[in-house]
Protein backbone atom coordinates (compact mmCIF):
# COMPACT_ATOMS: atom_id res chain seq x y z
CA UNK A 1 0.00 0.00 0.00
CA UNK A 2 2.92 2.31 0.67
CA UNK A 3 4.53 1.48 -2.69
CA UNK A 4 4.88 4.67 -4.79
CA UNK A 5 3.00 3.08 -7.73
CA UNK A 6 0.14 1.74 -5.59
CA UNK A 7 -0.20 4.53 -3.01
CA UNK A 8 -1.82 7.11 -5.37
CA UNK A 9 -4.38 4.52 -6.54
CA UNK A 10 -5.64 3.83 -3.03
CA UNK A 11 -5.02 7.34 -1.64
CA UNK A 12 -8.61 7.98 -0.57
CA UNK A 13 -9.47 4.31 -0.03
CA UNK A 14 -10.89 2.72 3.09
CA UNK A 15 -9.98 -0.72 4.37
CA UNK A 16 -13.05 -2.98 4.16
CA UNK A 17 -11.48 -6.18 5.34
CA UNK A 18 -8.10 -7.54 6.40
CA UNK A 19 -7.43 -11.06 5.23
CA UNK A 20 -4.71 -13.56 4.52
CA UNK A 21 -4.63 -16.83 2.67
CA UNK A 22 -2.09 -19.46 1.68
CA UNK A 23 -1.88 -20.39 -1.98
CA UNK A 24 -2.67 -24.02 -2.74
CA UNK A 25 0.10 -25.65 -4.74
CA UNK A 26 -0.81 -29.32 -4.84
CA UNK A 27 -1.97 -29.09 -8.44
CA UNK A 28 -4.18 -31.71 -10.01
CA UNK A 29 -3.41 -34.13 -7.14
CA UNK A 30 -5.42 -32.06 -4.68
CA UNK A 31 -8.47 -31.38 -6.83
CA UNK A 32 -11.63 -32.21 -4.88
CA UNK A 33 -14.99 -33.25 -6.33
CA UNK A 34 -15.93 -30.33 -8.59
CA UNK A 35 -19.72 -30.58 -8.65
CA UNK A 36 -22.53 -32.01 -6.60
CA UNK A 37 -26.22 -31.32 -6.05
CA UNK A 38 -26.62 -27.54 -6.07
CA UNK A 39 -22.91 -26.78 -5.95
CA UNK A 40 -19.93 -26.08 -8.21
CA UNK A 41 -16.39 -25.62 -6.95
CA UNK A 42 -14.14 -23.09 -8.71
CA UNK A 43 -10.90 -21.20 -8.20
CA UNK A 44 -8.46 -22.19 -5.51
CA UNK A 45 -11.15 -24.10 -3.60
CA UNK A 46 -10.94 -26.48 -6.55
CA UNK A 47 -7.13 -26.55 -6.37
CA UNK A 48 -6.78 -24.40 -9.49
CA UNK A 49 -3.39 -22.85 -9.00
CA UNK A 50 -0.06 -23.62 -10.58
CA UNK A 51 3.45 -23.02 -9.35
CA UNK A 52 6.00 -23.97 -11.97
CA UNK A 53 8.90 -22.35 -10.15
CA UNK A 54 8.77 -19.22 -12.31
CA UNK A 55 5.21 -17.98 -11.86
CA UNK A 56 2.55 -18.74 -9.30
CA UNK A 57 -0.75 -18.58 -11.16
CA UNK A 58 -4.28 -18.66 -9.82
CA UNK A 59 -6.25 -15.57 -10.79
CA UNK A 60 -6.47 -16.54 -14.45
CA UNK A 61 -7.54 -20.07 -13.51
CA UNK A 62 -10.12 -18.66 -11.09
CA UNK A 63 -11.59 -16.52 -13.88
CA UNK A 64 -11.48 -19.43 -16.34
CA UNK A 65 -13.23 -21.80 -13.96
CA UNK A 66 -15.68 -19.04 -13.00
CA UNK A 67 -16.67 -18.65 -16.64
CA UNK A 68 -17.11 -22.42 -17.01
CA UNK A 69 -19.20 -22.48 -13.82
CA UNK A 70 -21.37 -19.57 -15.03
CA UNK A 71 -22.02 -21.25 -18.38
CA UNK A 72 -22.93 -24.45 -16.57
CA UNK A 73 -25.36 -22.62 -14.28
CA UNK A 74 -27.00 -20.83 -17.25
CA UNK A 75 -27.57 -24.20 -18.93
CA UNK A 76 -28.84 -25.74 -15.69
CA UNK A 77 -31.24 -22.84 -15.20
CA UNK A 78 -32.70 -23.24 -18.69
CA UNK A 79 -33.54 -26.86 -17.78
CA UNK A 80 -34.27 -25.95 -14.14
CA UNK A 81 -32.09 -28.87 -13.07
CA UNK A 82 -29.46 -28.04 -10.47
CA UNK A 83 -28.77 -31.65 -9.46
CA UNK A 84 -25.29 -33.14 -9.87
CA UNK A 85 -26.61 -34.63 -13.11
CA UNK A 86 -27.77 -31.22 -14.33
CA UNK A 87 -24.37 -29.67 -13.51
CA UNK A 88 -22.29 -32.48 -14.95
CA UNK A 89 -21.22 -30.43 -17.98
CA UNK A 90 -18.91 -28.42 -15.71
CA UNK A 91 -15.87 -30.75 -15.74
CA UNK A 92 -16.19 -31.12 -19.51
CA UNK A 93 -16.18 -27.35 -19.95
CA UNK A 94 -13.10 -27.13 -17.73
CA UNK A 95 -11.35 -29.89 -19.67
CA UNK A 96 -12.05 -28.04 -22.91
CA UNK A 97 -10.54 -24.80 -21.58
CA UNK A 98 -7.02 -23.69 -20.73
CA UNK A 99 -7.78 -24.33 -17.05
CA UNK A 100 -7.54 -28.11 -17.15
CA UNK A 101 -5.13 -28.06 -20.10
CA UNK A 102 -2.60 -26.24 -17.92
CA UNK A 103 -3.42 -28.32 -14.83
CA UNK A 104 -2.48 -31.40 -16.90
CA UNK A 105 0.61 -29.76 -18.38
CA UNK A 106 1.99 -28.92 -14.94
CA UNK A 107 0.58 -31.95 -13.11
CA UNK A 108 4.05 -33.05 -11.94
CA UNK A 109 5.44 -29.59 -11.17
CA UNK A 110 4.51 -29.54 -7.47
CA UNK A 111 6.30 -32.85 -6.90
CA UNK A 112 9.41 -31.69 -8.75
CA UNK A 113 9.59 -28.44 -6.77
CA UNK A 114 9.76 -30.38 -3.51
CA UNK A 115 13.35 -31.29 -4.40
CA UNK A 116 15.49 -29.67 -1.70
CA UNK A 117 18.54 -29.49 -3.96
CA UNK A 118 16.80 -26.74 -5.96
CA UNK A 119 16.95 -24.32 -3.04
CA UNK A 120 20.33 -25.03 -1.47
CA UNK A 121 22.76 -27.23 -3.36
CA UNK A 122 22.20 -25.87 -6.89
CA UNK A 123 22.25 -22.14 -6.08
CA UNK A 124 25.37 -22.73 -3.95
CA UNK A 125 27.04 -24.71 -6.72
CA UNK A 126 26.24 -22.18 -9.45
CA UNK A 127 27.47 -19.28 -7.32
CA UNK A 128 30.74 -21.08 -6.62
CA UNK A 129 31.21 -22.07 -10.24
CA UNK A 130 30.62 -18.52 -11.48
CA UNK A 131 33.09 -17.20 -8.94
CA UNK A 132 35.72 -19.65 -10.20
CA UNK A 133 35.03 -18.75 -13.81
CA UNK A 134 35.06 -14.96 -13.44
CA UNK A 135 37.62 -14.46 -10.70
CA UNK A 136 40.92 -13.00 -11.84
CA UNK A 137 43.51 -13.56 -9.15
CA UNK A 138 46.73 -14.09 -11.12
CA UNK A 139 46.52 -17.83 -10.46
CA UNK A 140 46.46 -20.47 -13.21
CA UNK A 141 42.95 -21.52 -14.25
CA UNK A 142 41.59 -25.01 -14.74
CA UNK A 143 39.46 -26.24 -17.61
CA UNK A 144 35.81 -25.28 -17.16
CA UNK A 145 34.80 -28.93 -17.12
CA UNK A 146 37.09 -29.57 -14.16
CA UNK A 147 35.68 -26.54 -12.36
CA UNK A 148 32.16 -27.76 -13.02
CA UNK A 149 32.89 -31.22 -11.66
CA UNK A 150 34.60 -29.76 -8.62
CA UNK A 151 31.71 -27.40 -7.85
CA UNK A 152 29.27 -30.32 -8.13
CA UNK A 153 31.42 -32.37 -5.77
CA UNK A 154 31.77 -29.48 -3.29
CA UNK A 155 28.00 -29.07 -3.18
CA UNK A 156 27.54 -32.84 -2.90
CA UNK A 157 25.58 -33.15 -6.12
CA UNK A 158 26.32 -36.38 -7.94
CA UNK A 159 26.34 -36.52 -11.74
CA UNK A 160 23.43 -38.91 -11.40
CA UNK A 161 21.46 -36.28 -9.38
CA UNK A 162 22.23 -33.66 -12.02
CA UNK A 163 21.07 -35.81 -14.91
CA UNK A 164 18.00 -37.00 -13.00
CA UNK A 165 16.97 -33.50 -11.86
CA UNK A 166 17.65 -32.01 -15.30
CA UNK A 167 15.58 -34.67 -17.02
CA UNK A 168 12.76 -34.43 -14.49
CA UNK A 169 12.76 -30.62 -14.59
CA UNK A 170 12.64 -30.64 -18.37
CA UNK A 171 9.74 -33.08 -18.35
CA UNK A 172 7.65 -31.46 -15.64
CA UNK A 173 8.05 -27.69 -16.02
Partner 1 sequence: MKKMTVTEKIAVNKYELDEGHPHIVVHEEACRAKCKNLACLLVCPARVYSEVNGKIMADWAACLECGACKAACPTDALDWVYPRGGFGIVYRNG
Smallest distance, Å, CB 43 to partner 1?
10
- Pairing verdict, β 56-57 and 50-51: antiparallel
Burial of 161 (0-12, 13-18, 19+ CB in 10 A): middle
Smallest separation, CB 159 to partner 1 (Å): 33
Restricting to residues 31-90, name those near partner 1 by CB under 8 A.
none
Taking CB under 8 A as the rule, does residue 11 contact partner 1? Answer: yes
Binding window for partner 1 (CB under 8 A); candidates: 4-12, 68-76, 105-113, 139-147: 4-12
Does residue 7 interact with partner 1 by CB under 8 A? yes
**Does residue 22 bind partner 1 (CB under 8 A)?**
yes
> How many residues sit in the footprint of partner 1 (CB under 8 A)?
16
Give the number of other CB atoms < 10 A from CB of residue 40: 21
Cα separation, 62 vs 40, in Å, equals 13
Query: What does the alpha-carbon distance between residue 161 and residue 159 come to, in Å, rounded to a whole number?
Result: 5
Please give the C-alpha separations between residue 123 and each of 1, 67, 127, 157, in angstroms, as whole numbers.
Answer: 32, 40, 6, 11
3 to each of 10, 14, 157, how far by Cα in Å?
A: 10, 17, 41
CB of 2 to partner 1, least distance (A): 8
Smallest gap from Cβ 13 to partner 1, in A, equals: 5
Does residue 137 bind partner 1 (CB under 8 A)? no
**18 in contact with partner 1 (CB under 8 A):** yes
Among 17-25, 105-113, 130-138, 140-148, the segment contacting partner 1 (CB under 8 A): 17-25
> Could you list the residues that contact partner 1 (CB under 8 A)?
1-2, 7, 10-22
Amino acid sequence: MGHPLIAPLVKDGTLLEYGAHLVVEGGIEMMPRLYMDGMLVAGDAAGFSINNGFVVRGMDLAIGSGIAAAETVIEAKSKNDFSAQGLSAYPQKLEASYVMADMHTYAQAAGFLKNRRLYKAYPEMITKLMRQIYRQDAQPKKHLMQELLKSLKDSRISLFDLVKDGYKGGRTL
